[in-house]
């Protein structure tokens, strides 16, 4: 009974008392750098939108907001389960952490499937990258985001590898990868706001 109790005890992690920033500093540098890059993209988009507002509004009307809302719900929910994964990992509940991680991956896959379905419908309706300026930004920004989601699956794989071995698990590595996934989620919320909501 003592062995079972000890196995359920979380191993000692190097968490500092007081304020604690999860993950490695290098990941935060990457996230901040990407935030600056996308801020520039968004600034250029808003500038051209202001100059050609009528054309942008006309093209934007062809987007199905239900796809945008669905995609947003999928990404936000995936971030929630990623958070639960990190919390369970901190507590040493590795099986629960793995379950939450698998749900995160499934939601990410559902997001990609939904986005491909939306692209297919738009292209069949004649709205392509070369149709007009709005759809150039739409396809560019959503494709770049999907690329980040695919990279996010690599980080999910790293977390899964960490969770499969208690003796080799690094909580810092788990949280570093989780930071990347949350940044991808935040990026989508901004893209959704610009492409689907702003009028």
pLDDT of residue 86: 94
pLDDT of residue 63: 95
pLDDT of residue 165: 77
Average model confidence (pLDDT) across the chain: 88
Query: Which whole-number Å values give the CA distances from 193 to 25, 90, 93, 188, in the listed order?
Result: 29, 33, 36, 8
**Pick from 57, 51, 88: which is nearest to 163 by CA?**
88
In this predicted structure, the answer to whether residue 115 has a pLDDT above a threshold of 50 is: yes
Contact status, residue 50 vs residue 183, Cβ threshold 8 Å? no
| Separation CA 98–CA 100 (nearest Å) | 5
Query: Which whole-number Å values give the CA distances from 124 to 11, 92, 112, 118, 172, in the listed order?
Result: 54, 49, 18, 10, 45
Q: For 8-12, 121-125, 179-183, which range has the lowest pLDDT when averaged over its residues?
A: 8-12
**Pick from 139, 137, 144, 79: which is nearest to 108 by CA?**
79
More confident residue, 14 or 195: 195
In this predicted structure, the answer to whether residue 47 has a pLDDT above a threshold of 90 is: yes
The two tokens of residue 36 are 């600056």
Per-residue pLDDT reduced to its tens digit, 184-199? 999 999 999 999 998 8
DSSP 9: S
pLDDT of residue 122: 96
pLDDT of residue 30: 86
Mean pLDDT of 165-186: 88
pLDDT of residue 31: 86
Please name each of the domains of the chain with its CATH number.
22-197 (1.20.120.80)
In this predicted structure, the answer to whether residue 107 has a pLDDT above a threshold of 90 is: yes
pTM of this structure: 0.85
- pLDDT band of residue 170 (cuts 50, 70, 90) is confident
| Separation CA 112–CA 128 (nearest Å) | 18
- pLDDT band of residue 1 (cuts 50, 70, 90) is very low
């Amino acid at each position: 009974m003592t062995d079972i109790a000890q196995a359920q005890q979380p191993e000692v992690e190097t968490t500092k008392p007081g304020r604690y920033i999860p993950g490695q500093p290098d990941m935060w540098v990457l996230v901040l750098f990407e935030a600056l890059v996308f801020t520039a993209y968004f600034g250029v988009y808003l500038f051209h939108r202001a100059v050609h507002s009528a054309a942008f509004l006309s093209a934007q009307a062809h987007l199905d907001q239900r796809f945008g809302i669905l995609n947003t719900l999928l990404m936000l929910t995936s971030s929630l389960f990623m958070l639960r994964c990190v919390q369970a990992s901190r507590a040493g509940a590795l099986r629960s952490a793995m379950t939450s991680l698998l749900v995160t991956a499934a939601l990410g896959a559902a997001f990609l499937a939904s986005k491909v379905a939306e692209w297919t419908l738009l292209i069949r309706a004649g709205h392509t990258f070369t149709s007009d300026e709005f759809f150039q930004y739409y396809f560019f920004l959503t494709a770049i985001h999907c690329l980040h989601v695919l990279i996010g699956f690599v980080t999910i794989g790293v977390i899964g590898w960490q969770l499969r071995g208690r003796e080799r698990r690094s909580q810092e590595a788990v949280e570093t990868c989780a930071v990347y996934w949350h940044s991808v989620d935040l990026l989508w919320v901004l893209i959704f706001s610009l492409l689907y909501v702003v009028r």
